[in-house]
Amino acid sequence: MTLNPNQIAPRSRKVRVLATLGPASNTLEMITTLFQAGADAFRVNMSHGDQQSKIAVIQAIRSMEERFKRPTTILADLQGPKLRVGKFDGGRVTLEHGSTFVLDHDPAPGNASRVRLPHKEIFAAIEPGARLLLDDGKLVLRVTDHDADRIVTTVEVGGPLSDNKGLNVPDVVIPMAALTEKDRSDLAFAIDQGVDWIALSFVQRPEDLWEARKLIGGKAALLAKIEKPAAIERLEEIVEACDGVMVARGDLGVELPPQSVPPLQKRIVETARRMGRPVVVATQMLESMIQSPSPTRAEVSDVATAIYDGADAIMLSAESAAGQWPVESVAMMNAIGDAVERDPMHGDRIHFTVTRPDPTTADALAEAAKNIADTVSASAIICFTMSGSTARRIARERPSVPILVLTPSTDTARRLGLLWGTHNVNTRDVESFEEMVAKAKRIALRQGIAKAGDRVIVMAGVPFRTPGSTNVLHVVQIVGDELKDYRAPAAN
């Protein structure tokens, strides 16, 4: 099949690649190159730069989207609360092992015995025996006593400490909102700019998602970053309350022993898959490619593990945002995805997670579509959807064939860009069963998803234009006559 000059063939892999944009990659030219190299979605990190600088980046993504006629996902990642200690006299001190160190409200510059901690919520929540981690976990303090004005600790792991270093409190739930004033401003800005997903940091409990959900008002999907140990304790409730989750392994690895992170990653991925929420695995996936044109073998194995576990998306952070080899990093993610999914054992491994259908017609049909596709050697499952729920149900089953999603909603087409195995097309709605079948076959040909002689499975809801009404599964064969429709210049 010959594609037009601005059309890229559907990805051969089903796992999605999410690339963070930054100084190394925020121009239209670079965004286009990253897309061509394999990026399916783009992360805009609201922690760096001002809002004005993000406008041009978002507009560049939309410009690229228009050129290639491929709905493209934009995720705005909110910074969240940043816990930091105050300043020191001279800017730097050294904490000695076994010494006493106090955190208090005194604004005076700190020394080797004390420093200001400008977060009153921690004083209210902390308990004796709890750990305080400084500078990404390089220093460890153990709380021995506290009151409303002072937290007395013993230094268990000492070392140099400088102004405004970060603080992590892994052992208690801090009564602090997940949204700061900066986050609320950034969220409103991101919604105004038409982003598709909002990622929320510092999630400790499902209640942390409520304010963000209300502020979003249905104009974007909500992704919860699992980066706090407290979130693990209420994981299923958090997954139920959001539209997707991210395994934020960097922060998890600061607040937990490193050896605890791999099993937790598998647990989070399994829970999200079982509950039908897309799941992103993130942080340090190809970290060495910030400075090197090739990754370590261990990094490649790490990425492959996430793919074998059935993650919907794998994410690049500094590798694509600020590294020296952003295009090569995306191309490597793409290559790893292709290689893993060509492994004959890949299909068996991703089904180690049992995803039982809910007792609904739509879920039963989604499971049936997966099984029928294997039985009749179908080339694709094609679903018509308004809200995206049908596509999410099918993707949860992890079928062996691509999922072609046809939707009249541009928002839905874009939001589904983080969903495993989907190729999303924004098209006019259909009025009849016959039109549905004809359009499904025509677009499958046009998009390169199927060819003459192939069988495809079509799923939809009747009556049409009724969200959540999926009740039709139809197996059809594309015959030679449909090629005339493909060659015709008619719009989708």
Let me know whether 379 and 339 are in one domain: no
Residues 6+ away with beta carbon under 8 Å from 371: none
Residues paired with residue 477 on neighbouring β-strands, in sequence order: 455
Phi, psi (deg, nearest 5) at residue 408: -80, -5
Domain boundary residue among 168, 198, 228? 168
Domain boundary residue among 314, 345, 376? 345
Let me know whether 198 and 128 are in one domain: no
Beta strands in 293-384 (DSSP E): 313-316, 380-384
Let me know whether 216 and 265 are in one domain: yes
In a domain, 380, yes or no: yes
pLDDT at 480: 64
Q: What is the pLDDT along the chain (492 residues), one digit of tens a residue?
A: 444 556 677 888 999 999 999 999 999 999 999 999 999 999 999 998 899 999 999 999 999 999 999 999 999 999 999 999 999 999 999 999 999 999 999 999 999 999 999 999 999 899 999 999 999 899 999 999 999 999 999 999 999 999 999 999 999 988 888 999 999 999 999 999 999 999 999 999 999 999 999 999 999 999 999 999 999 999 999 999 999 999 999 889 888 888 999 999 999 999 999 999 999 999 999 999 999 999 999 999 999 999 999 999 999 999 999 999 999 999 999 999 999 999 999 999 999 888 888 888 889 999 999 999 999 999 999 999 999 999 999 999 999 999 999 999 999 999 999 999 999 999 998 888 888 899 999 999 999 999 999 999 999 877 776 666 778 899 999 986 554 443 333 444
pLDDT at 290: 97
What stretch of H or E contains 358?
none
Q: How far are the Cα atoms of 94, 101, 133, 452, 472 from residue 157, in angstroms, in the given order?
A: 11, 12, 9, 67, 62
Q: Are 386 and 409 in contact (CB under 8 A)?
A: yes
Q: Which residues are catalytic?
A: 43, 84, 225, 283
pLDDT at 356: 84
In a domain, 431, yes or no: yes
State the CATH number of the domain containing residue 106.
2.40.33.10
DSSP string, 36-66: HHT--EEEEETTSS-HHHHHHHHHHHHHHHH
258 cis-preceded (ω within 30 degrees of 0): no
Let me know whether 33 and 68 are in one domain: yes
Let me know whether 366 and 341 are in one domain: no
In a domain, 6, yes or no: no
Give the pTM.
0.91
Q: Indicate the number of domains in the chain.
A: 3
Let me know whether 338 and 367 are in one domain: no
In a domain, 355, yes or no: no
Q: Is 486 left (phi over 0), alpha (psi -120 to 50) or beta?
A: alpha
State the CATH number of the domain containing residue 422.
3.40.1380.20
Let me know whether 275 and 223 are in one domain: yes
Residues 6+ away with beta carbon under 8 Å from 144: 100, 128, 152, 153, 154
Owning domain of residue 269: 16-80+178-345
pLDDT at 251: 87
Q: With the C-alpha atoms ordered 220, 221, 226, 228, is the resulting torsion angle positive or negative?
A: positive
In a domain, 352, yes or no: no
pLDDT at 6: 60
- What token pair was written down for 313? 């998306």
Q: Is 194 left (phi over 0), alpha (psi -120 to 50) or beta?
A: left
Let me know whether 151 and 215 are in one domain: no
Q: How many CA atoms lie within 13 A of 84 on its CB side?
A: 10
Q: Are 73 and 196 in contact (CB under 8 A)?
A: yes
In a domain, 8, yes or no: no
State the CATH number of the domain containing residue 302.
3.20.20.60
CA distance 408 to 466: 12
Let me know whether 267 and 183 are in one domain: yes
Let me know whether 36 and 101 are in one domain: no
Domain boundary residue among 108, 139, 168? 168
In a domain, 273, yes or no: yes
Let me know whether 372 and 443 are in one domain: yes
In a domain, 353, yes or no: no
Let me know whether 220 and 151 are in one domain: no
